[in-house]
Amino acid sequence: MIHVVKAEIKKKGNHILICGVLQKSLQHVMGSKMIITLKDGSKKEYEESKSVHDIALDISEGLARMACAGEVNGEVVDLRTVVDRDCELSILTANDEKGLAALRHTTSHVLAEAVKRLYPEAKLAIGPSIDTGFYYDFDHEPFSRDDLDNIEKEMKKIIKEGAKLEKFTLPRAEAIQFMEEKGEPYKVELIRDLPEDSIISFYRQGDFTDLCAGPHLMSTKSIKAFKLTSSSGAYWRGNEKNKMLARIYGTAFAKKDELNAYLLQMEEAKKRDHNKLGREMELFTTVDVIGQGLPLIMPKGVTIIQTLQRWIEDEEEKRGYVRTKTPLMAKSDLYKISGHWDHYKDGMFVLGDEEKDDEVFALRPMTCPFQYYVYKASQKSYRDLPLRYGETSTLFRNEESGEMHGLTRVRQFTISEGHLIMTPEQIHEEFKGCVNLALYCLKTLGLENDVTYRLSKWDPNNTEKYIGDAAYWEESQGVMREMLLELGLPFVEADGEAAFYGPKLDIQAKNVYGKEDTMITIQLDFALAEQFDMYYVDKDGEKKRPFIIHRTSMGCYERTLAWLIEKYAGKFPTWLCPEQVRVLPISEKYHDYAKKVEDQLKLNGIRCTTDERSEKIGYKIREARLDKVPYMLVVGAKEEEDGVVSVRSRFKGDEGQKALDTFIDDICKEIRTKEIRKIEVED
């Protein structure tokens, strides 16, 4: 009798562990052939069971050498998996995302083995593949760059040894004993969290064994190109209350030229990293005594954010929004009505003690319940709807320490927040208007090709996180899906990413290192009007509950600034630049004319300065370019005599002489239209 594992798969930490009871499958009728349908539609027939690797070998030896994993009927499996029935099979190589993940996961095991060889006292935690490569966490003192270089050398030795990876399973009790004997407390903790009847999988490579469900390569020798890129600290299980572990990041590819291209890309990413470049440009800074996740926006950064804010507020006014200004904190009573106290309290800054104080306050993590009371201040009719409330809102969220990063993940931030209150008949048109506003913002900033769209749904397996029942969620998610299809947006769907009260359209973007963040969000809410007793009087004279859309037009200003720094490497479009023009007199004799030019520019609303230092003009030009100023106006005897300026720009270099009025007209048009000029010269 042929047996297969029919298993419930549970994700724990960064390992997927096999749980449940082994169940027998029906044996193929003796003599019947097994038909395997391959990715290209062709079919292979076998009279007996075969592993995925054997099937790959039967197709071609070259494919078998390149194979990293298999995909059987849509499920990624190990190359050792035995196929014993008709199925659809794809042989995954490193050219496939899932195959590359298997290669990188195997490399993380080689990393763990190398660390255990060099530092036997280190304790193993978790080591998954990630979008950019892999990492492994160790209970060990921090690793230096020299340490990483030594670990790399040891990894190369392990790869050269070419040990085969062998999978085996143990019952939960035996698995615990196995890891206790190896002195691996973090692995023991992971196993103890599983049901008692779990069957736990391991992979062995030579003398090294790790807790893992795979999939993995057949041998360490198949790893051809890898690099350990950095090290950092990471809390065990991402909880700041747990011990800080030492994390090693790395990446791996099938070919060395792919690795080299990636490393070159990462070097470029470091130059664009907003956390580095934003500080160098004096756009923002952070100070330990002020606190993590509480950036100080410096004058140049404030100029950019103010420019964005004025633009957004004016644009929203054109689109029928009315503005509110609401408190930065409220009593816990407000958040209990909205449901945030039950569903979001851990993410809030609470002021006071519920057991000791008569009144407990909390800094607001959102503006919606405040604006609902603006709505409720007077009776509304269907004629008053839709109502579009907008607010430039400063919000506070108690993010985990390990999640903080520059301007993209902070504890205090400002957002272009809005809430639209409407009748059911108005949902489609108002949702479409929110999407159009978001797309307009993205296009104006030059970011429309840098985003993806996600329908964020509830998690039906974790319903306590949400309000409403399954019927509510299926209906609201269905409405949003229908509207997205009508708009023709290419979107993916993701469980567990919804707000606790409704589904969201999340507009996602990646930073220079490939980490994805939500930039803009549009949320449907069919529930909170009931909790806040919001109503309008319909044309039939009856009281009805309105529907609500929560949305941002551009999102968080701090995160957008980070995004723009990385997108443009600090060379912002002229309308956003803190300094748009720098006047460069050739010598002191022309300071008076330079001052007249500067005054005329400022009179037209152009942000400019004059460099009056006693330096050579070439040096001044280089300094202005390093400061990423889009325009430099050189003035000397000829310019003063003719009433002109010599224009140099980051776009074309030397643009020749222009009448001052002509230059002002040109740059004012560029600023007014928010033009994004193409840079045609290199620094």
Give CA–CA dist 507/595, Å, rounded: 46
User: Does 550 carry a binding-site annotation?
Assistant: yes
**Full strand arrangement of the beta sheet holding 653-659:** 608-610, 581-585, 631-635, 644-649, 653-659
Q: Which residues contact 649 (CB under 8 A, 6 or more apart)?
A: 630, 631, 632, 655
Task: Report the chain's C-alpha Rg in angstroms.
Answer: 30
Rounded (10°) angle between helices 299-318 and 427-445: 140
- CA gap 525, 550 in Å, rounded: 7
Give the H/E segment covering residue 172: helix 172-181
Within 318-432, strands assigned E span 322-323, 329-331, 350-351, 361-363, 387-396, 412-422
Return the closest-CA partner of residue 194 out of 10, 30, 33, 21.
10
Whole-number Å distance between alpha carbons of 321 and 84? 62
Q: Are 14 and 33 in contact (CB under 8 A)?
A: no
> Is the bond preceding residue 215 a cis peptide, omega within 30 degrees?
yes
CB within 8 Å of 351: residues ≥ 6 apart: 329, 360, 361, 362, 363
Contact in structure between 414 and 308 (CB atoms under 8 Å)? no
CA-based nearest residue to 399, from 390, 408, 386? 408
Beta bridge partners of 219: 164
Question: Where does residue 43 rank: exposed (0-12), middle (13-18), buried (19+ CB within 10 A)?
Answer: exposed
Tokens matching residue 366: 């959102």
Check whether 419 is labelled as a binding-site residue: yes
Chain-centre distance for alpha carbon 130: 13
User: CA–CA separation, 204 vs 163, rounded Å?
Assistant: 9
DSSP bridge pairs for 516: 510
Three-class DSSP category at 29: coil
* Contact assessment for residue 574 and residue 631, using Cβ atoms and an 8 Å cutoff: yes
Residue 556, annotated as binding a ligand: no
What letter represents residue 334's amino acid?
A: L
Measured N-to-C along each axis, helices 660-673 and 591-603 cross at an angle, to the nearest 10 degrees, of: 40
Read off φ and ψ for residue 132, nearest 5 degrees.
-100, 0
**Beta-bridge partner residues of 45:** 35
- Going by the annotation, the residues of the binding site for Zn(2+) are 368, 419, 550
Binding residues: 368, 419, 550
